[in-house]
Structure 1
Amino acid sequence: MMPARIDPLEFQGRRVVVTGGTKGAGRATVERFVAGGARVLTAARNGVGNPAGARLVEADLTTSEGVLRLAEAAMEILGGVDVLVHVLGGSASPGGGFAALTDDHWRAELDLNLFAAVRLDRALLPQMISRGNGAVIHVSSIQRRLPLHDSTTAYAAAKAALTTYSKALSKEIGPKGVRVNVVSPGWIYTEAADALMARIAASTGGTPETARQSVLNALGGIPLGRPAQPEEVAELIAFLASDRASAIHGAEHVIDGGTIPTV
């Protein structure tokens, strides 16, 4: 579902790093920037799944060493970064509520959903600040406000921390010319969503269909009638990174089909 008209020169000359860029919304984001003329670098833990037109670095971004490897590659291959997009995230913890989560589960969720972004920002933002220009987009989740207590408590808490961190960061570096925004999707049609349904089904003894309905019930339904497509999330990210959004800063942008029931 790529937009019918994309300006192939919109991001010409821009150097873009996207984390989590080999699957789902991350891959769609890489493809959107490539279609707009950007030079794009992404990373994968196993070094496979590179989207067409992008460069791929093998790096585990849940570790300090992996983040450093990506940051060094960005400086070497791109010569700097103009747009930094953190899409990497997800949940691999078991269902069963708070008591099923060990310290290792919590640590893994925080490393994936919070510290990967914090560490990469620390490595790459100084060169944006020194130029007085740049854009950072952190992908959070509506679960920071609507946590699914049976299956994603640690993930939701990590995304809440990421959103709060993003706001603090925007206040610090906005005056230095670097914009920071958050995109918070609801349910997206991705492989990760299918994996979550399978994990819930395994923990409850149900089926992926009953798991899907239980998630919809917990969310209160999706008024639009469907989850978002990865390309729709990518289009919002591209807009926020573009000059069209030059006055948008320090804000959270929800794309959830109306799932959150309050203003």
Structure 2
Amino acid sequence: MENKQNQIKDLEGKKALVTGGTKGIGKAIADRLAEAGATVIVTARNQPNGDINHHFIAADLTQPQDVSSLTDEIDTNFGGVDILINNVGGLTTPGGGFSALTDEHWESELQLNLISGIRLDRALLPKMIERNNGVIIHISSVAAKQALWNLNMAYAVSKAALNAYSKTLSTELAPKGVRVLTVSPGATKTPPMEKFIQDFAASAGITIEEAFNQLLGQVGGIPMGRMAEPSEVASLVHFLVSPAAAYLTGTNYAIDGGSLPVVL
């Protein structure tokens, strides 16, 4: 039986852009928004291998010229977007703490996880402000509040900066009809996460199960006892961009199975 939530068409007539929307969390979000009635555009560096049911535009968002080309194509073919999901990002730098990270590592991580989103917001916001309506979601990470020096220092710093940017942007844009929110997933069952665990296991000479338990142990474990499914993150994003969340802006929503050991 089809999930009743998937039948709700509360985004009819809306146009949405999902960056990094061809796999993992991004693909799950794109599919969910389309199910809710939105016209969905997805972008990634490379054309996906399999079939994709959304309008695809190839772009490397760390490159200003690609952002300009992407924006021009969206403006020409769609007249802008109502919903922007800044999902592109990732952990691309080595572990090992400060001494393992070069200037190039810091620059690449900040470009991917922070500047790319800022650049795209700046390009697409004018039409949202003109219409006095729009929603921007920045996909961050619980790592921003629970950094691990030996595993994700530069990534965590870049996501913490994204959180601060998202909050300040929300304050600026609230009077202009544009809502800005942050979603911070914890451990989520995506190909990059599974590869990260496999690589960690191989480097440590342990099993994948042992590697998973060691990594979770560093963050205090997950009370729910499992990683999130991408579709669960997508469900939260769908709610936040829907009319049901019309009074929500400026908030950072952790979706981590209870793993953050802090009072938010």
Report the CA distance between 1:236 and its aligned residue: 0.4
| In 1: Cα distance, 2:188 partner to 2:73 partner | 30
- Partner residue in 2 for 1:253: 253
AA at the equivalent of 1:55: H
- Partner residue in 1 for 2:152: 152
- Partner residue in 1 for 2:44: 44
Verify: 1:174 aligned to 2:202, yes or no: no
1:65-76 → structure 2 map (5 Å cutoff): 65-76=65-76
Q: Is the 8 A contact 2:95 2:153 kept in 1?
A: no
Q: Is the 8 A contact 2:186 2:228 kept in 1?
A: yes
- Partner residue in 1 for 2:190: 190
Deviates more, 1:232-241 or 1:50-59: 50-59
Report the CA distance between 1:10 and its aligned residue: 1.4
When residues 27 and 4 of structure 1 are mapped into structure 2, their CA distance, relative to the original with a 3 A threshold, is same
- Partner residue in 1 for 2:11: 11
Verify: 1:129 aligned to 2:150, yes or no: no
Equivalent pairs counted in the alignment come to: 262
Q: Is the 8 A contact 1:61 1:116 kept in 2?
A: yes
AA at the equivalent of 2:70: L
TM-score (structure 2 length as normaliser): 0.94
Report the CA distance between 1:202 and its aligned residue: 4.8
| In 2: Cα distance, 1:22 partner to 1:58 partner | 11
| In 2: Cα distance, 1:50 partner to 1:19 partner | 17
Deviates more, 1:156-165 or 1:76-85: 76-85
Q: Is the 8 A contact 1:25 1:234 kept in 2?
A: yes
Report the CA distance between 1:51 and its aligned residue: 6.2
AA at the equivalent of 1:71: T
- Partner residue in 2 for 1:107: 107
Report the CA distance between 1:241 and its aligned residue: 0.3
AA at the equivalent of 1:91: L
When residues 256 and 63 of structure 1 are mapped into structure 2, their CA distance, relative to the original with a 3 A threshold, is same
User: Cα deviation per residue 1:216-240 (whole Å; 9 max; x = unaligned)?
Assistant: 0111000011111100000100100
User: Cα deviation per residue 1:190-232 (whole Å; 9 max; x = unaligned)?
Assistant: 0010122234335544443333222101110000111111000
SS at match of 1:187: coil
Q: Is the 8 A contact 1:47 1:59 kept in 2?
A: no
Deviates more, 1:6-15 or 1:85-94: 6-15
TM-score (structure 1 length as normaliser): 0.95
| In 1: Cα distance, 2:53 partner to 2:31 partner | 8
- Partner residue in 2 for 1:63: 63
Report the CA distance between 1:69 and its aligned residue: 2.1
Q: Is the 8 A contact 1:27 1:51 kept in 2?
A: no
When residues 82 and 34 of structure 1 are mapped into structure 2, their CA distance, relative to the original with a 3 A threshold, is same
| In 2: Cα distance, 1:33 partner to 1:113 partner | 23
AA at the equivalent of 1:108: S
User: Cα deviation per residue 1:81-101 (whole Å; 9 max; x = unaligned)?
Assistant: 100011111112122222111
Q: Is the 8 A contact 2:201 2:211 kept in 1?
A: yes
- Partner residue in 2 for 1:244: 244
Report the CA distance between 1:126 and its aligned residue: 0.9
| In 2: Cα distance, 1:109 partner to 1:3 partner | 38
- Partner residue in 2 for 1:28: 28
AA at the equivalent of 2:240: L
When residues 28 and 188 of structure 1 are mapped into structure 2, their CA distance, relative to the original with a 3 A threshold, is same
Q: Is the 8 A contact 2:29 2:231 kept in 1?
A: yes
SS at match of 1:6: helix
- Partner residue in 1 for 2:224: 224
Where do 5+ consecutive residues of structure 1 fail to align? none
SS at match of 2:249: coil
Verify: 1:211 aligned to 2:211, yes or no: yes
Query: Considering only aligned residues, what root-mean-square deviation do their CA atoms show, in Å?
Result: 1.6
| In 2: Cα distance, 1:4 partner to 1:90 partner | 32
Report the CA distance between 1:107 and its aligned residue: 1.1
